[in-house]
Structure 1
Amino acid sequence: MIPIESTQSNTGDELAHRNAPHIGVLAIQGDYERHAAALEESGAQPSLVKTPEALAELDALILPGGESTTMLKFLNRNNFFEALKVFAQQKPVFGTCAGAILLAKEVRKPSQSSLSILDIAVERNAYGAQRDSAILTLDTKLPGGPLETVFIRAPRIVSAAPEVEILAEREGFPVLVRQGHTIAATFHPELSADRRVHQLFVDLVHANSHAGHRPE
């Protein structure tokens, strides 16, 4: 006989699993497995996304780091880029490092195509090469005090529209921003044990689902 406590616990776990948002991670480049683990720890159901057809099953999507030009080459196959642009206009998307470049309205040094979802301008590799990578503790508007941030060949957000909320800065430049249901970070939150950035995104996805429309 199954103990009553066990039955209740299982029921609760199943209910929580059903209510967890289904968030994909674009699995082209970057540490998408760590993003998936961070999402699971933050109360979401993660899945790895490699085809445009997979977008139909998602509540939201993470665009991880990597090399943005290589990611664009992959996305330009099978109408993936256009499908992703439509998805990002309708549902929450979180871009980290190269993912932030893909979301930006303007890309500089050199210029390149982007989804133009987030009203920011970014400069590629602005903080230097791989050897210039850094782990910094920065002030943030997120609850819980300073935030550990891991920068690897990071882009720099050089301008942001007034509608873009700046949640953290490095040397006067935004490194974590939000506009509506879109979030971007120029660092790698998946490489830190601090899950507040992923939790922010999961909470945003919950809010977007309950609202039933795109936040203004």
Structure 2
Amino acid sequence: MIVGVLALQGAFIEHEQMLRKLGVSTVELRQKADLQNKPDALILPGGESTTQGKLLKDLGMFETIRQWIMEGLPVMGTCAGMILLAKKLSNDNKQWLQTFPATVRRNAYGRQLGSFITRAPFKGIGEVTMNFIRAPYIESISPGVEVLAEVNHHIVAARYKKQMILSFHPEIGEDTRIHKQFLQMVTK
């Protein structure tokens, strides 16, 4: 199995390290030429969603990645990746890939000073540590979306078909369980 990791900006190296711990090969997706060989799955990391979205378009990668996801390529979007995948943003008029039927609020907990760490249950795993850094959350979901985790009555993780979105950064720390759950989704 080879997992493509969008490596334009943000926390992509930490995802690669987490996947290597699990014995999974990764390929960095930095330019259009990197899309010639379709990976088995894709991770859209945290970072700055506007920068990532603009670079995807400027580098000619946007349409290919969107098509892959629409055709069922498994994808995990964390923080900025969640924003890129969301069908709608409640507090921003930008629209990116729009493959995940949910409304997301950008910077929902405020700016950098609003960042925090907590522990909460994650469906199918148990309690996990969640690192929120200028994080979004999910305001509403469409039918067919499965809620995986909530913090303070806000949805912070969800799954739709072969797409998983998370407000927080599971790549920070040593806990590999969320990445394992994603990889199980890939192999089904």
Quick check: TM above 0.5? yes
Answering whether residue 96 of structure 2 is matched by residue 114 of structure 1, we say yes
Which residue of the other structure, out of 152, 160, 177, is the alignment partner of 1:196?
Answer: 177
State how far apart, in whole Å, the 2-side matches of 1:53 and 1:183 are.
26
Q: Give yes or no for contact 1:44–1:202 (8 Å, CA) kept in 2.
A: no
Are the aligned partners of 1:119 and 1:164 in contact in 2 as well (CA < 8 Å)? yes
Larger Rg, first or second structure (1 or 2): 1
Normalized per residue, which structure has more helix?
Answer: 1
Q: Secondary structure at the match of 2:118?
A: strand
- Which residue of the partner structure matches residue 107 of structure 2? 125
Q: Is 1:64 paired with 2:65?
A: no
Residue equivalent to 1:37: 17
Gaps of 5+ in 2: none
* Matched length: 186
Question: Contact 2:87 / 2:95 at 8 angstroms: preserved in 1?
Answer: no
Verify: 1:136 aligned to 2:118, yes or no: yes
How many percent identity over aligned positions? 40
CA contact (8 A) 2:5 2:44 kept: yes
Large movers: runs of 4+ above 2 Å:
52-57
- Report the counterpart of residue 27 of structure 2 in structure 1: 47
Name the CA distance, whole Å, in 2 between partners of 1:41 and 1:206. 18
- The reply to whether residue 169 of structure 1 matches residue 150 of structure 2 is yes
Deviation of 1:110 after TM superposition, in Å, equals 1.6
Partner residue, 1:77: 58
- d(CA) in 1 for partners of 2:79, 2:93: 16
Q: CA RMSD in A?
A: 1.2
The Cα offsets for residues 121-171 of structure 1, whole Å up to 9 and x where unpaired, read as: 00110111111111100012123x211100000011100112110111011
Match of 1:205 in 2: 186
* Paired residue type of 2:6: L
Q: Are 2:153 and 1:159 aligned?
A: no
TM-score, reference length from structure 2: 0.94
Residues 167 and 178 of structure 1 are in contact (CA less than 8 Å); yes or no, is this contact kept in structure 2?
Answer: yes
User: TM-score normalized by structure 1?
Assistant: 0.83
Whole-Å separation in 2 of the counterparts to 1:97 and 1:132: 14
TM superposition shift of 1:78: 3.7
